[in-house]
Amino acid sequence: MTFSPPTSDQVFALRVCAGISELAEQDHFSSATPDVVDAIATGISDLAAGEWAPLNHVGDTVGAQLVDGKVVLPDGFAEAYRTFVEAGWNAISAPERFGGQGLPFSLGICVLENLGTANLAFSLLPMLTAGAIEALIHHGNDVQQSTYLPKLVSGEWSGTMNLTEPQAGSDVGALRTTATPITDGPHAGKFRISGTKIYITWGEHDLSKNIVHLLLARTPGAPEGSRGISLFIVPKYHVQPDGSPGARNDLKVVSLEHKLGIHASPTCVMSYGDDGECIGELVGAENEGLRAMFTMMNHARINVGAQGIEIAERATQAAIRYAQERVQSARAGSANKAPVAIIEHPDVRRMVLRMRALTEAARALLYYTAGQIDRGALGDSAAQARADLLVPLVKAWGTDIGVDVASLGIQVHGGMGYIEETGVAQYLRDARIAPIYEGTNGIQAADLVTRKLAMERGGILKNLMDEIACDAHDVKALEELSNSCSMLSEWMQSDASLDDRLAGSVPFLTMCAVAVAGWQIHRQSKAARSADAPTSIRQSKPVIARYFLDHVVPEAAGLHASVRAGASLLYALDGEMLAR
């Protein structure tokens, strides 16, 4: 299906929400000039539409396959990945000292958004590599950084994240994979890894020359639970002294999961150390692996939130195109009884307008968050704290939006949307994993009402909501929503039990996310009135923003009672009675 990258809206979000021009005033990001920003947004759009999007359908229908112990991708994937690497796209926001271009994280988000909109399953490959880069920058030693980062930054090697095990699920503290110290021989100082990991995205393939697995395991005598977890680098191929891949490590893919969607992404069951010779090296200190892995996970959570926007964009484009082409029935109340394109019917118009409003508001939230991360990288501790608060909002609400918009896209198509040949069912199937992986959305909400609300005794969220209320004085519904979020935050910290907070956490997260997204799209609406805004933005953004502020914001405000309802009703029936 045809894909048109939303370049204008991305550049507008970079300018208004991320504040890319302000970032470029700092020496660290001085290369992010307007010409460079436009060139990156346009260039990655061309690659995504021309090379990656055409592989989306075959990736879904044929998918990744395991043949004689090797993962095989459909024709075209290797060439498209090679084009991506050779053009330097993987290196956009990585540090220059490791071969990166040192540009803002916000521009890296733009790159991955385009790739994911073109081909979500394929984009998981560079997404996980970006997370591995981030983890090693912050926690790897000098030798590890010099050995692995240049190849990961270029994309010549790819990275994975190995957390989950069959018995553990989301409880990472329950993992059983072991790491035994090696005291002599050529691998002295390293560890023998033994165990099984599941749901390992792009855990095996031949698109890159090596795969750098970041893996959580326990050393002998480690404390129980998450306090006893360490992080290890476990490469597919041992690295030789000259930096090239050498002999194969003792690891293998056992099987590929048969999934609802993202079929082109090989989701692997990985076995380490079947022959007792899987070698890994410790990253950071023993028993501090979860802290190091959370660096990678937080990076991934933002990019997974972006996946919701990516699917929403693709589904919206397909729905609008179909609604413009499909002619059926006369417009209600019209004197002309000739059939019209269904986009002229009020309910279809409502659906496509809602799809655009949700997608563009979620994009505004994403780029605002990315801009805060960039400011944190410059040493702005307040911006970093705000970014930490926003991560669960982006991940959870962004992915919820992806599912909602993809479902609306099927509805716009009517019966044809339910037919696989139309192609739009793939968007809903692909979207459904995003609220689950990288921490379920329930886990994101729990994180918000426990760890994140605890930051500065609720001051981080209160300052954000106060800023929104001040800026939205001319939009009563948004002002009231932000004030409601502040009041609920105070209630959660002062009067609510832990069970009450957790019971109301999901609707509370939705309220907070809609408040921030509404604020940012309201800012976009005001900026769209300027003469330098693109004509399409100047014409459409105020209308899109008005729909979000008039419809979505009041819906979110209506969740107040659900947040305050508490947990007692949830436990009014015991587990056995609830199952009847």
Please provide residue 289's backbone torsions phi and psi, each rounded to the nearest 5 degrees: -65, -35
Residue 481: CB atoms within 10 Å: 31
Nearest one of 514, 513, 316 to 406, comparing CA atoms: 316
Residue 507: CB atoms within 10 Å: 20
Question: Measured between alpha carbons, how far is 363 from 374 in angstroms, rounded to an integer?
Answer: 17
DSSP letter (8 states) at residue 572? S
Catalytic position from the list 134, 165, 360, 438:
438
Residue 247: CB atoms within 10 Å: 9
What single-letter amino acid sits at 554?
Answer: P
Question: Measured between alpha carbons, how far is 519 from 415 in angstroms, rounded to an integer?
Answer: 36
Per the annotation, the verdict on 438 as an active-site residue is: yes
**273 contacts 194 by C-beta, under 8 angstroms:** yes
For residue 135, what are its two tokens? 């983890």
Three-state DSSP state, 421: helix
Residue 291: CB atoms within 10 Å: 15
CA atoms within 13 A on the CB side of 309: 30
Q: Give the H or E element holding residue 355.
A: helix 346-377
Strands 157-162 and 210-217: parallel
Residues in the chain: 580
For residue 59, what are its two tokens? 């990736």
Question: Measured between alpha carbons, how far is 386 from 405 in angstroms, rounded to an integer?
Answer: 27
Q: Give the H or E element holding residue 300.
A: helix 289-325
Residue 146: CB atoms within 10 Å: 13
Cβ neighbors of 309 (< 8 A, separation 6 or more) are 113, 359, 362, 363, 366, 398, 401, 402
DSSP letter (8 states) at residue 570? G
Only one residue has tokens 């045809």, namely 2
Distances from the Cα of 564 to the Cα of 226, 425, 567, 568, angstroms: 32, 36, 9, 11
Question: Measured between alpha carbons, how far is 549 from 534 in angstroms, rounded to an integer?
Answer: 22
**400 contacts 510 by C-beta, under 8 angstroms:** yes
Residue numbers annotated as active site: 438
